[in-house]
Structure formats: C-alpha cells, structure tokens
C-alpha cells in the first residue's frame, strides 16, 4: 500500500470517529492519545489529525498499564518496572518494619501479576 493511500485511509477513519464521538456526546482525551507505527515502514512520520489537533508520533505508549513499543519488545515496560522498584526501595527505607512487610507484599503481588502476563 502506498503511503499516500494509507494517509488518506487514516484521514477518512478519523473523520468517521470524530462524527461518532460527536453523535454519542463523547470526547477523546488527546493528551493520552498517541500514534505508534509498527512494521518495516516506520521511518515515515504520519501527520494524523483528529479534528484540528495533531496526534503525537511516539516510539512507545502505555496501554492498560503495559508499555508497548514500536518493535513490540518488553524493554520499555521492564525499564518502567525497574524505576518503580527503585522508588519503592527508597520509600521503604523510611518505613517501620510492620508497614514495610505490608507494602512489600502488595508490591510483590503487583510485580508477580506483571510477570505472569509477560510469560
């Protein structure tokens, strides 16, 4: 498919979505809306607009708590989990023993859920 055809098709779909949103009295949070290009043709940066607002091209985005990157790898998701672990470690140094045990149980449960979905 040619790039021009693809861009025209995307533009047509955004118009349809915009009409649907208006008809249902909904709004799209454009601060959380982004565009990730998957595949071999990703060197192109598409200028997609929803109404008058340009949708941001990004290398990765967060969707339902999982970071998805353009190569469909787990690198960004693992980096974000690592940052969370460091923050929790710094936070846990300031807690007393009982509170630290409860917080660590919750955090370990949270991480185990992520690990189960990644397997």
Distance from chain centroid for Cα 76: 10
Q: What span, in angstroms and rounded, lies between the C-alpha atoms of 102 and 110? A: 13
Residue 111 lies in a domain: yes
**Minimal CA–CA distance to 10: which of 64, 53, 57, 46?**
46
Domain count, the chain: 2
Domain that residue 80 falls in: 75-118
**Residues 45, 87: one domain?**
no
Beta-strand pair 60-63/66-69: antiparallel
Residue 48 lies in a domain: yes
Residue 29 lies in a domain: yes
Residue 66 lies in a domain: no
**Residues 53, 87: one domain?**
no
Residue 70 lies in a domain: no
Distance from chain centroid for Cα 79: 13
**Residues 10, 54: one domain?**
yes
**Residues 7, 54: one domain?**
yes
List per-residue pLDDT tens for the chain, 119 residues long. Answer: 576 787 778 778 888 888 888 899 988 888 888 888 877 665 666 777 777 888 888 888 888 888 888 888 888 888 888 888 778 777 767 667 777 777 777 777 776 776 666 55
């Amino acid at each position: 498919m040619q790039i021009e055809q693809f861009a025209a098709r995307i533009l047509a779909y955004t118009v349809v979505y915009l009409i649907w949103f208006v008809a249902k009295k909904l709004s799209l949070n454009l601060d959380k809306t982004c565009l990730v290009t998957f595949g071999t043709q990703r060197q192109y940066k598409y200028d997609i607009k929803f109404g008058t607002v340009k949708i941001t091209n990004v290398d990765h985005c967060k969707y339902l708590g999982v970071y998805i990157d353009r190569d469909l790898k787990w690198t960004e998701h693992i980096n974000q989990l690592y940052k969370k672990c460091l923050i929790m470690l710094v936070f846990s140094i300031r807690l007393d023993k009982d509170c630290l045990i409860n917080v660590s149980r919750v955090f370990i449960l949270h991480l185990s859920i992520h690990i189960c979905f990644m397997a």
